[in-house]
Structure 1
Amino acid sequence: MYSQYKQPSATIGDRLKNSFIKGNALTRLIYINIGIFLLVKIINVLVILSGQKAGVGNFLLENLGIPAYFDSLLTHPWTVFTYMFTQFDFFHLLFNMLWLYWFGSFFLNHFTQKELTGVYLLGGLCGAFTYVLAYNVLPAFELSRYYSWAIGASASVMAVVFAVCLYLPQQRIYIFLIGPVKLIYLALFTAAIDILSIPSSNAGGHIAHLGGAFFGYLFVLSVKHNRNIAGATTTFFEKIGKLFIGRKKMHVRQKKNVTEMNDREYNAYKKQKDDRINKILDKISRSGYESLTKEEKEILFRSGK
């Protein structure tokens, strides 16, 4: 007979916390969207149970959503960020997160986590700018601009979707009941649907989608010209965050294992390694093997294994 102490199992809260901390940028973006959705719904339930009218709960959404009228936006500047993490109902959340998960996973096969976060944020900001501009300039929204507001991750998600589709235009994905479809055709079809749907009751949402899609195009264009606008923006926000925190923490950067690199990172790593070997070989041809330093000899030895 023997006794054994049972280790306390981690609670669901602990598991979610660890998953958020140790997860990648895609996991965190999805968790933030789900967390804000649940928080808003719980507050709305508490408002109703307190005896208030159900409509009072929408007050919170209106203060998280971005107002169409420019003067209202000046008094609610935080909404340019909060709107892209706030969803109206469960199906709104579900479809946005499914698209984000599918295409975010594609994205991370070719780009970094910082770039994913940057595309999400800048795509959302571009969607917000397009939405507010359209409602304050176009005559069709002359009256509705005063009371309209928008919420949803759709513009940010569209930025990620279009970044993937335009970076890998010939890549095929299988669509149920349709079959294999090139990503470029999926992008064009999605953009066409949004353009044709502008006369609907959700005109602002479709306009914001197009703004996000446009940033996806700008991101791919910047990558082809070796300009990392998304990654640089994420780094900028990180620096701003450190300023607000006040105390700069030590950050230890660990080298990635080759097996953990995406295609772009591996190609850059291989090119850097090949360039280094070529320089060492050139040095040997000019001055002989004995002219190499100890480090250069080790590099040459490892490359020959």
Structure 2
Amino acid sequence: MEKKSIQNTLLMGFIEDIKLRYKTGNIVEKFIFINIGVFIASLLFKVIFGLYKTNGDFIFNWFALEHNFSTLITKPWSIISYGFLHAGFIHILFNMIALYYIGNLFIQYFTQKQLVQFYVLGTFFGGLLFMLSNSYFPLFEGTRPHLVGASAGISAIFIGLTTYMPNYQLQIRFIGFVKLWHLAAIWIGLDVIGLVGSNAGGHFSHLGGALFGFLYVNQAANTKLNIWDKLSGIFTSRKKPLHTVYKSSKKTAPKSKNTDLTQQQIDGILDKISKSGYDSLTKSEKEFLFKQGKK
């Protein structure tokens, strides 16, 4: 009995630790916890149903995205829910590693709410392109593929970030400094090559998410990034810079010499961030940005 009591105590302590980490973590960590939780739940369902020799893919069948639009009518949630399912351990491992690094870089410059918007809408447009490609290309004739994975949402975040600051450099061990647009070109190139492979549908979805990230950031207005309100204007011809957490709002009053000087300082600091990252700023530059952001 004593051994069982200790085991229960350890289990409860582990569960409480997970709850605490989820509550205190940023949105990237929350998304990772959700994806891992769904993955574990799907495995448990397979085991339980398998013991009774029944269909163990309950979660997969109800929440994965199928290839045709007729099924989407009966399961409309699947065009979003598939972005939280994964086909295996390696699949979720690589996706969560990518989400961790790309997502945390994204929220250094934009808000956590914006990351949610990119993830969800990137997943949506990725699923949409997946179904369109299955309906159009002869490659998919005679097949009934399903789509799962967070890659479309991650692609939207990564390509959106790259579109905004393509010359931002990351230091990679054994390679050195590499610009974001170089990594994005490899990312997109691998998906294009994979369009005729065994996971062609998955690569179409990645490109759908990437296309959304590029188009939105390229056309976004210089106001707060509220995608839900501005989605209808995504294909307009107006081109303005994307709002970040570092920029101060525009003022309609005539600019004085001091205002011009302040704007030049802000522009210089933002340019430095885009080239070398936020950590390259001096203490005085960081304090200056912080004060400007409060105005």
TM bracket (short chain): 0.7 to 0.9
Matched with 2:134 is 135
Give the C-alpha shift of residue 232 in structure 1.
4.9
Q: Secondary structure at the match of 1:197?
A: helix
For each residue in 1:176-232, what CA deviation from the matched residue of structure 2 results, as whole angstroms up to 9, or x when unmatched?
443321110111111111011111100000000000111111231244554624375
Give the C-alpha shift of residue 22 in structure 1.
2.9
**1:183 matched to 2:207:** no
Q: Which amino acid aligns with 1:148?
A: P
Question: Which TM-score applies when normalising by structure 1?
Answer: 0.70
Matched with 1:198 is 195
Q: Tell me whether 199-208 or 220-229 shows the greater mean CA deviation.
A: 220-229
Are residues 135 and 229 of structure 1, via their aligned partners in 2, closer, same or farther at CA, if it must alter by over 3 Å? Answer: farther
Q: Which amino acid aligns with 1:52?
A: K
For each residue in 1:102-141, what CA deviation from the matched residue of structure 2 results, as whole angstroms up to 9, or x when unmatched?
0111100100011000000000001001000111122222
Q: Secondary structure at the match of 1:11?
A: helix
Gaps of 5+ in 2: 1-8, 232-242, 257-290
Q: Any residues of structure 2 matched to 1:29-108 within 5 Å, and which?
A: 29-48=31-50, 50-52=51-53, 56-108=55-107
Q: Tell me whether 191-200 or 73-82 shows the greater mean CA deviation.
A: 73-82
Between structure 1 and structure 2, the one with the greater Rg is 1
Kindly indicate whether the alpha-carbon contact (under 8 Å) linking 1:127 and 1:211 is maintained by their aligned counterparts in 2.
yes
Matched with 2:275 is none
Matched with 1:289 is none
Give the C-alpha shift of residue 142 in structure 1.
2.7
Q: Secondary structure at the match of 1:268?
A: coil
Matched with 1:16 is 18
Q: Tell me whether 120-129 or 131-140 shows the greater mean CA deviation.
A: 131-140
Give the C-alpha shift of residue 76 in structure 1.
1.7
Q: Which amino acid aligns with 1:15?
A: D
Matched with 1:267 is 247
Match of 1:228 among 219, 225, 239: 225
Kindly indicate whether the alpha-carbon contact (under 8 Å) linking 2:45 and 2:57 is maintained by their aligned counterparts in 1.
no
Question: Which TM-score applies when normalising by structure 2?
Answer: 0.72
Gaps of 5+ in 1: 1-7, 235-262, 279-301
Query: How many pairs are equivalent?
Result: 239
Give the C-alpha shift of residue 175 in structure 1.
3.0
Q: Secondary structure at the match of 1:111?
A: coil
Kindly indicate whether the alpha-carbon contact (under 8 Å) linking 2:45 and 2:58 is maintained by their aligned counterparts in 1.
no
Partner Cα distance (1:112, 1:169) in 2: 19
Q: Secondary structure at the match of 1:267?
A: coil
Q: Which amino acid aligns with 2:136?
A: V
Partner Cα distance (1:203, 1:267) in 2: 40
Kindly indicate whether the alpha-carbon contact (under 8 Å) linking 2:170 and 2:179 is maintained by their aligned counterparts in 1.
yes
Are residues 266 and 226 of structure 1, via their aligned partners in 2, closer, same or farther at CA, if it must alter by over 3 Å? Answer: closer
Matched with 2:124 is 125
Q: Tell me whether 225-234 or 38-47 shows the greater mean CA deviation.
A: 225-234
Kindly indicate whether the alpha-carbon contact (under 8 Å) linking 2:109 and 2:246 is maintained by their aligned counterparts in 1.
no
Give the C-alpha shift of residue 21 in structure 1.
2.5
Kindly indicate whether the alpha-carbon contact (under 8 Å) linking 1:119 and 1:219 is maintained by their aligned counterparts in 2.
no
Kindly indicate whether the alpha-carbon contact (under 8 Å) linking 1:222 and 1:229 is maintained by their aligned counterparts in 2.
no
Give the C-alpha shift of residue 265 in structure 1.
2.5
Give the C-alpha shift of residue 72 in structure 1.
1.7
RMSD (Å) for aligned C-alpha atoms: 3.1
For each residue in 1:145-183, what CA deviation from the matched residue of structure 2 results, as whole angstroms up to 9, or x when unmatched?
xx2111000101111111122222111113344332111
Identity of aligned residues (%): 32
Kindly indicate whether the alpha-carbon contact (under 8 Å) linking 1:219 and 1:229 is maintained by their aligned counterparts in 2.
no
Q: Which amino acid aligns with 1:36?
A: V
Q: Which amino acid aligns with 2:146?
A: W
